Each structure stands twice: as structure tokens, then as C-alpha cells.
Amino acid sequence: MSQRPDTAEAESLAPETLEGWYVLHDGYTLDWAKWRSMPGAERALLIDELAAWTATAGTVEQGQSACYQMLGQKSDLLWLHYRSSPAELGAVERGLRSCGVFDYLVPSFSYLSVIEASLYEATAIAHGMLARKGITPGKEGFDAAFEAELEVQRAALNQRVFRDIPAQNHICIYPMNKRRGEHVNWYDLSIDERRKLMRGHGKLGRKYVPAVTQVISGSVGLDDWEWMVDLHSDDPLLFKKLVYEMRFDPASSRYAEFGAFLVGLKLDDNALRQYLAL
């Protein structure tokens, strides 16, 4: 792999990115003993209150929310929120705290990020479109035509980054970094090298579309890792198959580092009520 020469032009080396919804993953375990020691009628009131709050949070004008039952002991319940600003996420956090059930929830996991599309390909696509029309870099009008073409790409990507929470009923989430190690360092590669790797990555990933929906949110400067990976599917086996196949792809085999994996099931209003009535 060619490493880029020492240069101070870091600004132009970062791919342009397009951002959409801010995302909060908000996970809790339930203190079952304390919860069940409460009389049934009181519990029912708190369940109604929480279900009503979850439903309202899911139908806000700007963004969306969904609730998942997480498998294993790392978390019991996870709320996923898409909102237009951190302030909006703050409001939704306060909303949950105002529910009576909150006194029985023990925080287990939270993650702040923003849905992101990197424009590695958009730039290459724009170059290709213009080249086919004979408009090449250096020619008169190239800069304006290039900007206009990029705008078209951005508009298409906008729908990706301001998307709805996928309807699929299983979720798999994990944070990841691109390696900055002694021997291999993603951030030292040239932008062309990274584009090439991302192209291979995208090609592999698209084999799983639409059975798996991938939502990548960036979290550099927002939380502990560089990205949060959310995969949604009706077939949870595809999480294993996709993540395993990707392990062999150089964008992951050489450069990816992962945090903890969590898998859960989407809860509709009825299922959330049943879960809390256990």
C-alpha cells in the first residue's frame, strides 16, 4: 500500500462528508426485582406512561425514535433516536427521565453520533460524468460544472442521511475505528487508496441490500469511537454472514477495529407493554 508522502495538506485529504440526523443510542437494564416489587396497578400506570412517551417520540415532526429489546445481559431496552440537533436529543433524553419507569432503569449504554455519507465516490462519479461530456480538469468551465455535478450527488445522498429508522425487526449495533497503528494507518493512506478500498467495501456490502440496511453515523469528536455501525434486517443470521464476509475485505481486515456488538428486536407498542408486564 502506498503511504502518502509527508504533507501538511491535511485539509484536502479528509473526504468531504455529508451529515444528516443526529443519533442517540440510549440503552438501559431494568432493575427487575425493584420493578416487580411494585403493585400491579401502579406498574400498569407506568407502562402506559412509558408506552405513550415512546409512541410520541416516534412520531415527532423532525426525526424518529424506536425501541428495541436487547438480547443478553449488556442491555434490556434500547431507544434509538434520530433528531435534527443535539438540543433535540437533549429534549428526548429529558422526556424519558420524566417517565416514572426511569427510576427503575439502570443506564447501560449510550452513544452520540450523526448519520454520515462520505463523498469518496461522489467526487469520482462527478469527474467521470464530466469526462464523458469532454469536460476535463483544467478546461474552461470545469470548476462550475464540477460543483453542479457534485450538487446532484449531494441531493441523492441527502435522502440517505435524512432517512427513516429502517422498519426491519432486528438491529445489530457496534462502534468502530479505522486503525491508526504503527504498521498500517488508514489516515496516512492517500485519498485515492482510501477511495479504492471503500469502493471494494461498498461492492461487497451491496450484495446484502435490501436484506440488510446499513446506517453509518460518524462520531469523531462526539463519542469514544469514530463511527457507529447500525445494521437492520429481518434475518439476524445475515448480521453474522455480512460482518464475517467483511472481515476478509481489506477495508476491514487491515483497518477496522471494533467495540462491543449488541443485537436486539424491535418492539412495537404491544410488545413493549408485554415486556414490561413480565
Cβ closest to ligand 76R, residue 64 vs residue 177: 177
Residues 137-176 that bind ligand 76R (CB under 6 A): 176
**Which of 84/214 has CB closer to ligand 76R?**
214
| Contact between 130 and 45 (Cβ < 8 Å) | no
Beta carbon of residue 203, minimum distance to ligand 76R (angstroms, whole number): 8
Of 71, 112, 124, 216, the one binding ligand 76R by CB under 6 A: 216
By beta-carbon distance, which residue lies closest to ligand 76R?
Answer: 205
Q: How far is the CB of 207 from ligand 76R (least distance, A)?
A: 8
Instruction: Pick the catalytic residue from 68, 82, 104, 174.
Output: 174
Look up 104 and say whether it is catalytic: no
Q: Does 260 bind ligand 76R (CB under 6 A)?
A: no
User: Which set of grid coordinates corresponds to residue 4?
Assistant: 502518502
Instruction: Using CB under 6 A, pick the residue from 242, 263, 267, 272 that binds ligand 76R.
Output: 242
Should residue 276 be labelled a site residue for ligand 76R when binding is judged by CB under 6 A? no
Q: Contact between 43 and ligand 76R (CB under 6 A)?
A: no
Is 44 a binder of ligand 76R (CB under 6 A)?
Answer: no
Which residues of the chain form contacts with ligand 76R (CB under 6 A)? 118, 121, 176, 198, 201-202, 205-206, 208-209, 212, 214, 216, 227, 229, 242-243, 246, 252, 256
**Catalytic positions, please?**
174
